[in-house]
Structure 1
Amino acid sequence: MPRVAIAGGSSASLGRAIVSSILLSPIKSHWEISILSRGDRKPLWLRALDPHGLRTRMEVVDYRDVSSIKAVLASSHTLISVTSVTDGSQVQVETNLLKAAVQAGCVRFAPSQWGFGPKGWENMHHFRSIGQPIWEECVRYKGEIECAKFNMGAFMNYIGLGAVTNPSASDLTELESIQRLQEGGGYIAGEDEVVQGLQRQGDLEDGSGAFLLGMRNAIATLPCRDDGQLPRVTFTTVKDVGRFVAASLDLVKWEENMTMVGETVNLGDLLRHAEEITGFDFKVEIRSREADEERLRQLPPNDVLGQLFTQFRLAFGRDAQDEGILEPVVNRLCPDIKPMGIREYMEGCWRAAKAT
């Protein structure tokens, strides 16, 4: 069986989405999975889906040491990174992963550059400062390993953050959690199923952790184009990213930009869906480019998240193809994957919210 290695694969968000999608694929998957991690502790969702370790194995690595990574990649065909390092060493970690993959004879590598389209990586300082040097390294090894960037736009789940007020697993025993995770295909019904591992990092003023729109508190902060019209944005759920990536493993060749789309929607329609589903009249702030540029100037340098979400709004406001608006490349290559649309996702959020 071919083996895929997933660096950071024990994470609750993209790691869980990709691993669970491979394990639960309706088409019997022949891929075995190595999960690269700094520790050997199995998350509960993995214990629920592969309790006996028949398809997955945990591999403890030192991301600072190429030889440590290479040692666990010897039999891997593909290396996918979903690492997210916050100590300033992300570029070095990704470069080490790439070098180890080349030395181990891996065929393919996907660096941890999940997000906007190719122009987004060029136009947004936060992404450019990290993504550009990593991709330059990938280009250097062209001919020795096939590299691709998986782009998916904005995570749809950011508009579901805060909708469900009670953490669904807080009162469960470990055994009960594992049972619920088995029943939900790696997710516990309620908040876990809605959020899919995202952290409450969005900058809405209600403090919910949502971004752009918060359903429970009926609040929205939306960017506009320079002509005053609301832009289009491509959204994809975390789970659907996992499903697309899992399906792409069986492709003979990857494209340089493996872009996927849940749904591209005008933000005016996003707001309309939210008001129809909840029955609320939303408090809406329309944020101009000038207002967000001024906000960006005023934010302290150490407010990384504040800067990041402000840059997101500025990018959305440009309403540009291959930045906030993506082409459905992986959708075309893997037509059996039918992603969730924005209204279906919001209706599921609201059902879960009303149940709490």
Structure 2
Amino acid sequence: MVKVAIAGGSGQVAREVIDALLAADKHEITILSRNEPSSKCVISPGLHWRVVDYNDKNALAVALRGTHTLLSFVQPLSETGYQSQKNLIDASIVAQVTRFAPSEWGAAGTVNMPWWVVKEQIRQYLKKVNENGRVLEYTLFQPGLFLDYLASPYQTAKYVAPLDTTFDFQNRRAFVVDGHADAVMTFTTAADLAAVVARAVGYNDGEWSEVSGIRGNRVTVSRVIEIGERVRGSSFAIDKVKLEDLEAGSLQTSWTMEKPKKHQAVSDEEAVALFKTVTIGMLLSSVKGAWDVSDEVNQLFPDYKFEEIETFLARAWGGKP
């Protein structure tokens, strides 16, 4: 048993992981949060809640004392800088935390994704911390895109809510960068991510690798559409967008989401503009390999069976209009 702290533990992805850790029944878990738990929050046995101020490094160090593993789910979209996670790292070093995982939970790269600039800053800060020798063991958990998002507007994960992407399975359509239908993307279910992260927390046969790629499904854009057409029973309308238009910040498409499914950290007013920014960024970054994640976790746990994309989508869309 180890003591595990979860920063930003009220978030959707965090709650998926917390449930998997509780199911393992091996750890003492403390949720670090800026706020008291809501009335809807059920505190399970073995789970503790601690209100913290991410701006107070000394208080954070006290809160982290005795912690073996710290998993961060601090939301980059709500950060104006990267101070919260920087303070968590500094406090972890003072408190002698053994392992740290920053708020990644996505792509391997951050190219053309300005909404994730904080992730790149934290990556660089962690490298700097260990530049003269390992001070803090850390890893970047990268599952690619949640496969659950391809079921939007239906929710398939316990906590991770639907989110619209460049693939619109409901209306049988998609955006594709002209000439780049062979771009590779990684899709992993939220349930699989949670399960293997829980395994990684309990792993004690060696150190974590600096990157922990989680490769649920590695497929091309054209393969996603091919599967989509099969499970939805008809062809997809494909909007081919020019790479040069995207690089210029222009999204020349015949349709857009009037009320896109959005992340909980985004306001209704911001959602439409952010959808355009994210769409351009997703298309560009996929062409540049950002969503082709590595497979360190697959190699670490070769017996784990990830849900296959076609099986998942057939179940998610079976019987849907």
Q: Could you say whether these structures have the same fold, taking a TM-score greater than 0.5 normalized by the shorter chain as the test?
A: yes
> Aligned with 1:135: secondary structure?
helix
Counterpart check, 1:246 vs 2:191: no
Length-normalised TM-score, structure 1 = 0.76
Match of 2:310 in 1: 343
Alignment deviations for residues 203-224 of structure 1 (CA, whole Å, 9 cap, x no partner): xxxxxxx212222211211234
Distance 1:230 1:248 in 2: 32
Aligned counterparts of 2:5 and 2:113: Cα–Cα separation in 1? 29
1:269–1:125 distance in 2 versus 1, CA, 3 Å? closer
Residue among 107, 131, 153 paired with 2:119? 131
Distance 2:190 2:39 in 1: 18
Helix, strand or coil for the counterpart of 1:295? coil
| Kept after mapping to 1: 8 A contact 2:53/2:59 | yes
Flag the 1:229–1:134 CA change in 2: closer, same or farther, 3 A. Answer: closer
Letter in 1 for 2:36: D
Displacement of 1:263: 0.3
Pairwise mapping of residues 284-323 of structure 1 onto structure 2 (< 5 A)?
284-296=238-250, 303-318=273-288, 320=289, 323=290
- Judge conservation of contact 1:156–1:342 (CA < 8 Å) in 2: yes
CA RMSD of aligned residues (A): 2.5
Determine if the alignment matches structure 1 residue 333 to structure 2 residue 312.
no
The match for 2:170 is 216
SS at the partner of 1:41? coil
- TM-score, normalised to structure 2, is 0.84
Runs of 4+ in 1 over 6 A off after TM superposition: none
In the alignment, the residues of structure 1 paired with residue 319 and residue 207 of structure 2 have an alpha-carbon distance, to the nearest angstrom, of: 39
Residues 37, 128 of structure 1: CA spacing in aligned structure 2 closer, same or farther, 3 A cutoff? closer
Equivalent residue number for residue 27 of structure 2? 31
Q: How far, CA to CA, are the matches of 2:20 and 2:81 in structure 1? A: 26
Question: 1:108-161 deviations in whole A, cap 9, x for unaligned?
Answer: 1111122211xx13x335267323332232123322211211112222222111
Matched, 1:197 2:160: yes
Q: Which residue of 2 aligns with 1:91?
A: 82
Residues 223, 230 of structure 1: 8 Å contact kept:
no
Task: Quote the residue 2:214 is aligned against.
Answer: 260
Deviations 1:151-173 (A, max 9, x none): 122222221111x3xxxxxxxxx
Specify whether residues 128 and 95 from structure 1 end up closer, same or farther in structure 2 by C-alpha distance, changes over 3 A only. Answer: same
Could you tell me whether the CA contact under 8 Å between 1:2 and 1:30 is conserved in 2?
yes
* Inter-CA distance 128–18: structure 2 relative to 1 (3 Å threshold): closer
Render the CA deviation track for 1:48-85: whole Å, top value 9, x for unaligned. xxx5x322111111111112322221121011101104
348 and 195 in structure 1: CA distance in 2 versus 1, 3 angstrom threshold: farther
How far residue 351 of structure 1 moved from its aligned partner, in angstroms, is 3.1
In the other structure, the counterpart of 1:272 is 226
User: Is the 2:181–2:220 Cα contact (8 Å) retained in structure 1?
Assistant: no
1:115 is aligned to 2:123: no
Query: Is contact 2:5–2:70 with CA below 8 Å preserved after alignment?
Result: yes
> Residues 241 and 251 of structure 2 are in contact (CA less than 8 Å); yes or no, is this contact kept in structure 1?
no
User: Which residue of structure 1 lines up, in the alignment, with residue 52 of structure 2?
Assistant: 61
CA drift of 1:22 comes to 1.2
Mapped partners of 1:154, 1:17: distance in 2: 15
Could you say which residue in structure 1 is the equivalent of 2:16? 17
Change (3 A) 1:158 1:222: farther
Amino acid across the alignment from 1:130? V
Kept after mapping to 2: 8 A contact 1:224/1:317: no
Q: Structure 1 residues 94 and 248 mapped into 2: Cα distance closer, same or farther (>3 Å)?
A: same
Deviations 1:24-43 (A, max 9, x none): 24xxx411111111122158
TM-aligned CA deviation for residue 194 of structure 1? 4.6
Q: Which structure 1 residue ranges, 5 or more long, are not aligned?
A: 165-190, 201-209
Shift of 1:255: 0.3
Query: Residue 167 of structure 2 aligns to which amino acid in structure 1?
Result: L
Distance verdict in 2 for CA 1:307–1:160, change over 3 Å: same
CA distance in 2, matches of 1:195, 1:268: 29
Query: For the Cα contact (< 8 Å) 1:34–1:58, is it kept in 2?
Result: yes
How far is 1:94 from its partner? 0.7
Q: Does 1:234 align with 2:225?
A: no
Report if aligned partners of 2:76, 2:118 keep a CA contact under 8 Å in 1: no
